[in-house]
Amino acid sequence: MEREPTHHISVGYALSIFGFMGAHRFYFGKKFTGLLWLFTLGLFGIGWIIDLFLIPYMNKSAQFKYNDGPYNYSIAWLLLTFLGLLGLHRFYLHKPLTGILYLLTAGVFGIGIIFDFLTLNESIDELNRYPYKK
């Protein structure tokens, strides 16, 4: 039986629209380079262009690293990247209290968004491995 894909190339490219934030790198589990892209605006734009060619390789790596399950990585990442200040990704992951907190504080003044960029894949992975543990 073949595993369902956890990450999708098309979502990686969609997130690369915000390549200067490193969202696509965080999506594929590349935390260090995601932070580097975030603080250097995508390596001053050069890394952003290079990543157009590297996204398929990052996708392949993420497939082996994370578990599939009831929570969809792509949905959560799109919600975080495009609507993170509203906390919709938190509601999607059944975390309504922090979702409300994000909604009222613009993602806890943006710092929560960076925290979620760093931890979202692991949170989803754990929820997928233990879906009844909340």
Whether 113 and 119 have beta carbons less than 8 Å apart is answered as: no
pLDDT of residue 48: 86
Domain ranges within the chain, ordered by starting residue: 9-129
Q: Is residue 40 pLDDT above 70, yes or no? A: yes
pLDDT of residue 15: 94
Average pLDDT over residues 46-67: 93
Q: Is residue 19 pLDDT above 80, yes or no? A: no
The mean pLDDT value of the chain amounts to 92
First CA to last CA across the chain, in angstroms?
28
Q: What is the pLDDT of residues 59-112, one digit of tens each?
A: 999 999 999 999 999 999 999 999 999 999 999 999 999 999 999 999 999 999
Q: Is residue 29 pLDDT above 60, yes or no? A: yes
Residue type at 84 in one-letter notation:
G
How crowded is residue 116: how many other Cβ atoms within 10 Å of its Cβ? Answer: 24
**pTM for this predicted structure:** 0.90
Rounded distance between C-alpha atoms, residue 31 and residue 134, angstroms: 25
